[in-house]
């Protein structure tokens, strides 16, 4: 299946180091060679930088450039794809994006959902993946239920309920964001860590590259990274419990939902 990566921070932060580790798994040291994508919300919330390719990230010149210097953001979401449903094509590459009630939402999924996902009137997939269909279904439910887009607690509760329902169809590890917060849910594999002062060094597993965060940060910085599998070998990653969901804001876990 695919692999996920996300960043949530209290200050604009690039995801270059983590994306370097993820992109190597997109065809070089992993089998996720059917496309990749990186979405970063502009720090002022005015826009979204979204880049996708239907090619292996490990051998992509564009992905390599982003691994050197990705956009600084409060929220970024990345994905490398191993196709289980849908052709290897650009329209089937994650992350997917849609507009809901004036907000830009981004979604990426790891897993496989069996069975037909209902298609509504307001949101319809452009591609042929179960993932994009699930994203459209989630937005359709929010629209029908009249959820308040400015209420993170309500959003988090409803997204967890939708994730629980979709997980009955298979594996639903997913990331969703509107640029203000980051929602993460896991059926099987998802890990997280939070970096804060005192910042130290970290070493990627793929490739064995080390960075010292201390000179790159301030004492007030808080940066949380979520990844399908731990990206570094010398940091304490925490696995998200199966069936659980978390909503992150400014690098901190704001809401947590258990199965």
Q: Are 79 and 37 in contact (CB under 8 A)?
A: yes
Q: Which residues pair with 175 in a beta bridge?
A: 108, 184
Instruction: List, in order, residues 6 or more apart from 121 with CB less than 8 Å away.
Output: 140
Kindly give the pairing relationship between strand 73-80 and strand 3-13. Answer: antiparallel
Q: Is 2 in the active site? A: yes
Catalytic-labelled residue, pool 2, 93, 136, 253: 2
Two tokens at 95? 């992350």
What is the CA 227 to chain-centroid distance, rounded?
Answer: 8
At CA 134, angle to CA 132 and CA 135, rounded to 5? 65
**CA–CA distance, 101 with 149 (Å, rounded to integer):** 7
| Widest pairwise Cα distance in the chain | 51
Kindly give the pairing relationship between strand 103-110 and strand 96-100. Answer: antiparallel
Two tokens at 74? 């409060």
Which residues are known to be catalytic? Answer: 2
């Amino acid at each position: 299946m695919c692999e996920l990566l996300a960043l949530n921070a209290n200050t604009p932060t690039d995801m270059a180091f983590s994306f370097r580790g993820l992109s190597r798994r997109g065809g070089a040291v992993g089998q996720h060679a059917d496309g990749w994508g990186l979405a970063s919300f502009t720090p002022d919330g005015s826009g979204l930088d979204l880049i996708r390719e239907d090619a292996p990230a490990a051998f992509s010149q564009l992905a390599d450039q982003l691994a050197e210097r990705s956009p600084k953001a409060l929220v970024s979401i990345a994905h490398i794809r191993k196709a289980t449903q849908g052709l290897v094509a650009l329209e089937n590459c994650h992350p997917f994006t849609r507009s809901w009630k004036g907000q830009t939402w981004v979604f990426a999924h790891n897993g496989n959902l069996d069975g037909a996902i209902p298609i509504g009137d307001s949101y319809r997939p452009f591609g042929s993946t179960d993932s994009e269909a699930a994203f459209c279904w989630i937005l359709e439910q929010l629209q029908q239920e009249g959820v308040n887009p400015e209420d993170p607690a309500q959003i988090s509760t409803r997204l967890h309920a939708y994730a629980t329902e979709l997980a009955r169809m298979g594996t639903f590890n997913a990331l969703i964001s509107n640029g203000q917060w980051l929602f993460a849910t896991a059926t099987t594999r998802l890990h997280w860590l939070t970096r804060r002062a005192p910042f130290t060094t970290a070493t990627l597993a793929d490739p064995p590259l080390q960075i010292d965060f201390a000179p790159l940060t301030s004492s007030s910085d808080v940066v949380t990274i979520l990844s399908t599998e731990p990206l570094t070998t010398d940091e304490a990653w925490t696995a998200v419990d199966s069936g659980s969901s978390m909503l992150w804001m400014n690098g901190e876990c704001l809401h947590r939902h258990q199965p």
